[in-house]
Structure 1
Amino acid sequence: MSNEGNTLLIGHYRALTLWGQRGTRQILKLRYPKTLLDNRTLDMAYTRAGVARVQVMGFNWVFLMGSWGFPPEDEAVDWVAFRKAVSLYQNAGIQVCGGVQVLAYVPQGSYAEKEWAAHDPWGKPIPYATGHLLACWQDSAWQAEVQRRITLLIEGGVQGVFFAAPWLGDIPFTLAQDVPGAYCHCERCQAAFAAANARKHIPSTLNPRNSQVRAYLQWRAEQAVEQLGIWADHARTLKPDIMIAAEGNVTLAGHSMTGNESPLQRLSAGQNVTLLRSEMPQPHPEGLRHNAVYLALARLRTSEIPLASHVGPRRENAHQDTDESLHRFVTAMGEACALNVLPAINGSDFVANQSRTLLLHDAFEKQRAAIGRTNAWLEQHAPWLNLRTNASPLAVYAPRNIDDDPLAALVVRAACQTLILHGLPLRIVDDGDWDGVQTVIVPPGEVNAGRLADFAASDGRVIALQQARPGCVSPLWTRYKLPQRRRLPVDWPLVGRLVDRMRAAMWRLAHTPGLLQPLLRRVQGRFAVQSEITPPVAVQRELVSAIGLDIRPRAEGEGALLFTIWREPGGNQQWHLVNYLDEPQRVTLHTPSFASGWVFSPTDNESVKVFGNAIMVTVWNYKVLRVGVGGPEAPG
């Protein structure tokens, strides 16, 4: 959808989420009763001191939570504090987006007897978190309650409304399945689904290879999008220029909603911006961790919708102090920009002195300064950062239905990881724009064979992985067995029901205070899908050797490096380099011909002139080269 004034662009939209004050303290105590809280800093988010620290970081949007789902009598005092905070930020020139919990509620006080809860196939309420229940979106009273909260946000003077965690499944946890279970099996949902699908029942076990299950997933996504649209329309009726935002997630082989449209596409319908939850990139003994593949896929799937990488610290231990260097913050913001995604910061998931706190804490002063310099740099160079189209000659093919083929999705991730580890340009394509692509890497599974045949006939090079394709009869990686989760035969009705029942029971116990809660949470973590796939070195070399040295430009560095290539309207190119190491690395850029231009970086005070057939730069976190290839010079 169009964005009036083009304000939702890199450098123009600089957003920070700050979940603070009394409501956040209450929800944290409820979910994590044994966790220490830094009340001073949590409350600072709603004070002049907090506003001043946000100003130093250069943000022009701040997200504050208006309602966590507590009953009105508990939230009355929170709304007073919220309205005061909105005024403070606006007086400082910072716009406020108010958050509302649309997925769950706290069943206490006047909410204790409400019958809003979503129910599993066995008639039991589904917990969202400890002390929280998932709400059924078919319940008209719940729909009206969310609408009431949206009204309070707009009456409080906000410029935006944020739908927090509009998850479209039942629980975000799978056990030997490709997708989680159905959302709600209550009588309302059963009747609504039957009316739309010839009196069929909501399936208790979701096997996406089953046509009835796929019909249900399609219906569920449509219902969710429709309801989000109703809430958004209500907000726009009250304030026509309101910005609508929601938190989304993008998956590759997992939690699929439909075959032809990704969950992210459907979730983003009717919004102005979607925040993608992500974590700080970092080297790790188990393999490089980053967000590049998911951001690239998201940008591809939702090319018309502004996306923001809502990046926060990694929290492998809830009680361990946050240890994210200022370098990683710049790297994370550069990673988003390199993939043409809006950088945004999650300022809420921090720990200092073993207490839950915010980015505003004194311990993170250097990180705040680095964020401020990066935001200023993005604002300064926004005019050319926002004028570019993908121009990499090398691409990885990810068909739109790839989420329904776990093996193909794993191969795509492994191929992308290989490109990053070897300084080759990262670009993901589907059946849309292949402009400038000379070599395409193709995973196994269902693809557009006609498109590949036409590409090969036009002198395009096809590198097939694990399955022969038009233009490539000798595929690579045929002996590479990718690490997939162990699967039970959930296609068998009895086994499927048993697995679902075990999953639901584990989730319920994991969110019920007691002796089993810590154990069950650790068990769930063991079933989490690894977010990055790093192939063995020999497998990587097989693909790199097939690509060859003719791909230009190509980056030769000392370690993991995200490299993206973009073309400006005038013909010049932008080469974005993101260093994933924790130390600077020397990078040599091998160009297709003589190139000259300028190097820009948020950590450098001035741009630097470069030229040659092999351009050498030192990358600490993020650099951009604006070059003219084959011409005399690119503008600075």
Structure 2
Amino acid sequence: MSVIFPSRVGYYLWGGPGTIRMINLKYFSPPVDTASFLRAYDRDNLMRIKEVFGVTDMWVTYSWGFSEEREEEDYAFLADRLQNFRDASIRVHAYVQGPNLVFEDFKDRDWFCRDEYGQFIPYHRGRKLVCVNHPEFQEFLEERVRLACLLGIDGVYVDNVFMGQMGIPGMKNRSSSFIGCACDSCQNAFGIPIPRRVRKWCNRSKEYMEFRAESLRQFIERLAATAHVYGKEFGTNSLDPRVNMHHVYGTDLGYLHTCQDYLLFESLTLPCRTGSRGNAHLQLLRCQHNLYKPMFALSYKRGIGFDAEFDQQDLDALYSEAMECGYYPCVKGTEYVTGGIWHNLDPTKFSLPHIHSFTAPPLAHPRPESRIGHIVIRVCGRWLNTVTTWYWEIQWVRRLFSWGERMFLG
């Protein structure tokens, strides 16, 4: 059986010692199939991925946000295997963690975001959000992008680019919680007191939301310019576009499309044959915003740490919908948890995708208003980031609430 693949097919594949180190940090040292991460960029594995999935572009581990001293082995791990990608005719996009860092490695820096009460804003266990307005951090991340370019890769991809505390989806038209960052760098740049609550009727709130968006635009454009100087492709994780991106992340598809070489959307929308879930909304998005650059969809079922290894039907549905809806599929090749063990996708278990007729879900597929968001704001109030930190950092607290997560994610 032969398959006519799309002209571009993406593949997310984290590998090497840095990925193992990050999983141990984020998830309290869970069982990990270390071999699957250490052989990720071996020639035989890449050749099989190319043969079965038709992959043209691969997003690979470069920097997870540890200190340079700890990441030296990660840079070397990738550099030593770049020829394997060339042999397989796969373009390499180096993954660089965006504005969040491993706190222990950078705790002496004043780069970290603060909420309206001066508290750090957690990103995950052991990691906190960093301010895109801090001049030293801007230089730091720009240098990481530059060094990645010098490695000999084809592109640089910066993940999780948003500013401080995210807005809650579905609350754009209502009084919301604190959004963004209130560190000294932001306060000095904004010039007037940063609002503690974002209210739709408040002019200062509107001015601040525009300031937040402009801060991110300048930050992303600076990183893109650095990559382009070296002739590399540049992209960021544009996350889930079904929400109001300006309100939730502080980004805007217009400037992302202008300064990046492609768009990559990551969301819980792995297509299924029933049509109850999928990425057909990207068709509407392309038309509404006149998007003509390559558009990749990276799809999960329930999210990182919740998805068991996908099967052949899952991949068939992804390729079928992509062909139907006109986007490029990006296969989730990593961060599966099957039988309690973290591992990468095993390409030897798959055959060529079967492209079939596909029932796409409705084009307009916005995220619903978050009633949970209202409850969280009312209950937690000023303790929101304290409670969130407990959740990430204390294992029994996370286990206590894990049943709710699994129910919520289906």
Q: TM-score, normalised by structure 1?
A: 0.57
Distance in 2 between residues matched to 1:488 and 1:83, nearest whole Å: 44
* Paired AA for residue 370 in structure 1: L
Judge conservation of contact 1:262–1:301 (CA < 8 Å) in 2: no
Q: Give distance in 2, aligned partners of 1:225 and 1:514.
A: 36
Distance 1:298 1:163 in 2: 22
3-state SS in 2 of match to 1:245: strand
User: How far is 1:123 from its partner?
Assistant: 0.8
2:305 to 311, 318, 321: 318
Please identify which structure carries the higher strand content. Answer: 1
- 2:259 maps to which residue? 270
Given that 1:119 and 1:186 are in contact with CA atoms closer than 8 Å, whether structure 2 keeps it comes out as yes
Deviation of 1:347 (Å): 1.0
* RMSD (Å) for aligned C-alpha atoms: 3.5
Aligned runs of 1:61-76 on 2, under 5 Å? 61-76=57-72
Aligned-pair distance for 1:223? 1.0
1:118-517 equivalence runs, <5 A: 118-171=113-166, 181-194=178-191, 199=192, 201-237=193-229, 239-240=230-231, 242-252=232-242, 254=244, 256-257=246-247, 263-278=252-267, 279-282=269-272, 288-293=276-281, 296-297=284-285, 300-312=288-300, 314-315=301-302, 318=305, 321-322=308-309, 324-359=310-345, 361=346, 365-367=348-350, 369-371=351-353, 485-486=370-371, 500-517=381-398
Structure 1 residues 138 and 59: CA distance shift in structure 2, 3 A: same
List alignment gaps of at least 5 residues for structure 2.
none
- Paired residue for 1:28? 23
Secondary structure class of the residue paired with 2:386:
helix
Q: How far is the alpha carbon of 1:166 from its aligned partner?
A: 0.9
Other structure's SS at 2:6 match: coil
What is the CA-CA distance between 1:144 and the residue it aligns to?
1.3
- Whole-angstrom CA distance in 1 between matches of 2:124 and 2:22: 10
Question: CA offset at residue 81 of structure 1?
Answer: 0.9
SS in 2 for 1:515: helix
In structure 2, do the counterparts of structure 1 residues 174 and 527 end up closer, same or farther at CA, with 3 Å as the change threshold?
farther
Farther off after superposition, 75-84 or 275-284:
275-284
1:141-170 Cα deviation digits (max 9, x unpaired): 111111121122111101111011212451
Q: Take 2:214 and 2:238, find their aligned partners in 1: how far apart are those partners?
A: 16
CA change 1:255–1:427 in 2 (3 A) is: closer
Secondary structure in 1 matching 2:60: strand
* Residue 520 of structure 1, CA deviation: 4.3
Alpha-carbon spacing, 1:487–1:330, altered in 2? closer, same or farther (3 Å): closer
CA distance change for structure 1 residues 521 and 343 in 2, over 3 Å: closer, same or farther? Answer: same
Q: Please identify, of 24-33 and 58-67, the stretch whose mean Cα deviation from structure 2 is larger.
A: 58-67
Report how far residue 72 of structure 1 moved.
0.8
Deviation at 1:253, TM superposition (A): 5.0
What secondary structure is seen at the aligned counterpart in 2 of 1:244?
strand
Shift of 1:23: 0.5
Q: Distance in 1 between matches of 2:382 and 2:283?
A: 34
The one-letter code matched in structure 2 to 1:354 is G
Task: Answer whether contact 1:175 1:527 (CA < 8 A) is retained.
Answer: no
SS at match of 2:81: helix
Query: Does the CA contact (< 8 Å) of 1:126 and 1:134 recur in 2?
Result: yes
Pair 1:17–1:297, CA change in 2 (3 A): same
Contact 1:250–1:294, Cα closer than 8 Å, also in 2 = no
Q: Which amino acid aligns with 1:518?
A: R
Against the structure 1 CA distance between its residues 208 and 335, is the aligned structure 2 distance closer, same or farther, given a 3 Å change threshold?
farther
Report the Cα offset of residue 428 of structure 1. Answer: 5.8
Letter in 1 for 2:324: A
Q: Deviations over 1:29-77 (max 9, x none)?
A: 0001152111011111122232222222221211112100000110111
Matched AA of 1:29: N
Q: Which has the larger radius of gyration?
A: 1
For 1:180 and 1:101, locate their aligned partners in 2 and report how far apart those are by CA, in whole Å: 26
CA 1:225–1:288 in 2, change beyond 3 Å: closer, same or farther?
same
User: 1:48 & 1:167 partners in 2: Cα distance?
Assistant: 35
Higher helix share: 2
Q: Give the 3 Å change call, closer, same or farther, for CA 234–420 of structure 1 in structure 2.
A: closer
Aligned pair in 2 of structure 1 residues 141, 74: CA closer, same or farther (>3 Å)? same
2:7 is aligned with 1:12: yes
TM-score (norm 2): 0.85
CA distance in 2, matches of 1:39, 1:112: 29
Aligned residue number for residue 39 of structure 1: 34
Structure 2: which amino acid aligns with 1:308?
F
Q: 1:25 to 1:209 in 2, by over 3 A?
A: farther
1:235-266: CA deviation from partner (whole Å, max 9, x where unpaired): 222x13x11111112444555439xx973334
Q: Which residue identity lines up with residue 22 of structure 1 in the other structure?
A: P
Equivalent residue number for residue 588 of structure 1 = none
In 2, the alpha carbon distance for the partners of 1:215 and 1:143 equals: 23
Percent identity, please: 21
The aligned residue for residue 101 of structure 2 is: 105
Ranges in structure 1 where 5+ consecutive residues have no aligned partner? 1-9, 378-418, 430-442, 444-481, 531-636
